[in-house]
Amino acid sequence: MMFSRLLLKRHTVLPGFDLALGFALLYLSLIVLIPLSAAFFKTFTLTWQQFLDATTTPRVLASYRLTFLASLAAALINAVFGLLLAWVLVRYEFPFRRIVDALVDLPFALPTAVAGIALTALWAQNGWLGQWLPFKVAFTPLGVWVALVFIGLPFVVRTVQPVLEDMRTDLEEAAATLGATRWQSVRRVVLPALTPALLTGFALAFARALGEYGSVIFIAGNMPMVSEITPLLIITKLEQYDYAGATALAVVMLVASFLLLLVINLLQAWVRRRQGGTH
């Protein structure tokens, strides 16, 4: 009886599933798992005290704070304004709409070094925008945040936009006919449907910001304890041939990023279960 159930279950699987799964796991191992495991193996050459010495110095801890806090702040602001931008692109018709839609993808195509130079020229104290501000942006932690906002915005817009395009406007119209205000329709109808996609966009923007290097180093100024990010410290250790120290920092970033993204994914799954239970 058990064998017949297993056989029946196996016949219901799509043709080629085993082969496709094998190729997917092989590709995942070659591209992701093996390189990441190499970082761990190199770190294991350090003793526990050497690992702590490499990853807990005041300079390194300051870079952790800046990297994670700036990435989190950039992802949060991108979640808000990325949602607004996606809403405008989907729900409104206006002149040059296609040009604006294409400009959203510019941070994807622009080399990060070019983005960093452009942002520095724009926000420096003698730049087009920086000269009119009463405070410094370039070569400060604020400049790091600006660069991370720039490179992370497309991830939110392109994740939320397809969901908005598929969303039926008659649900909002039905809410309006039942007496709901515009804000109530957005809060009770639109936002619950967009929350999983918005969390995905937030996670992608956050993960992209954590590993950003090229656009940040130009505008940050890279001052130790002030505007130095962890990826720059990793590059510095590699230039000094301190490979074990570099992989130690990489492992800390990897584990912390994985835990944060795991929390976001669990929150996303919880939201989806809650939505499924309310329908």
pLDDT, averaged across the chain: 85
Full-model pTM: 0.85
pLDDT of residue 173: 67
- Cβ atoms of 256 and 68 closer than 8 Å: yes
Q: Cα–Cα distance between 227 and 216 in angstroms, integer?
A: 10
pLDDT at residue 12 tops 60: no
Classify residue 13 by its DSSP letter. S
According to the model, what pLDDT value does residue 25 have?
Answer: 83
- pLDDT recorded at residue 279: 54
Tell me the DSSP string of 211-268. Answer: T--HHHHHHH---TTTT--HHHHHHHHHHTT-HHHHHHHHHHHHHHHHHHHHHHHHHH
Q: 228 falls in which pLDDT band (50, 70, 90)? A: very high
Is it the case that residue 105 has pLDDT exceeding 60? Answer: yes
Going by pLDDT thresholds of 50, 70 and 90, the confidence category of residue 6 is very low
Domain ranges, ordered by start, for the chain:
13-44, 45-278
Summarised one tens digit per residue, pLDDT across range 59-99 is 999 999 999 999 999 999 999 999 999 999 988 888 888 99
Tokens encoding 18: 């085993």
Q: Which residue has the higher pLDDT, 147 or 165?
A: 147
pLDDT of residue 34: 84
260's tokens: 């944060």
pLDDT tens-digit series, residues 14-56: 566 677 878 888 888 888 788 888 888 888 888 999 999 999 9
- Give the percent of the chain with pLDDT over 70: 88
Q: What is the pLDDT of residue 8?
A: 45
d(CA 164, CA 201): 13
pLDDT of residue 267: 83
Q: Which are the contacts of 246, defined by CB distance < 8 A and separation ≥ 6? A: 234, 235, 237, 238
Q: How confident is the model at residue 2 (pLDDT cuts 50, 70, 90)?
A: very low
CATH number of 45-278: 1.10.3720.10
In terms of Cβ atoms closer than 10 Å to its own Cβ (0-12, 13-18, 19+), residue 249 is: buried
- Does the pLDDT at position 117 exceed 80? yes
Q: Please give the pLDDT value at position 17.
A: 67
| Better pLDDT: 209 or 19 | 209
pLDDT of residue 15: 63
What is the C-alpha separation between 263 and 206, in angstroms, rounded? 13
Written as six digits, the tokens of 278 are 């309310």
Single-letter residue type at 212? E
Indicate the Cα dihedral angle 180, 186, 191, 194, nearest 10°. 120
Asked if 145 and 70 count as a contact pair (C-beta separation under 8 A), the reply is: yes
Question: Residue range 248-262: average pLDDT?
Answer: 89
Distance CA 250, CA 36 (A): 9
Kindly state the percentage of the chain with pLDDT values over 90. 45
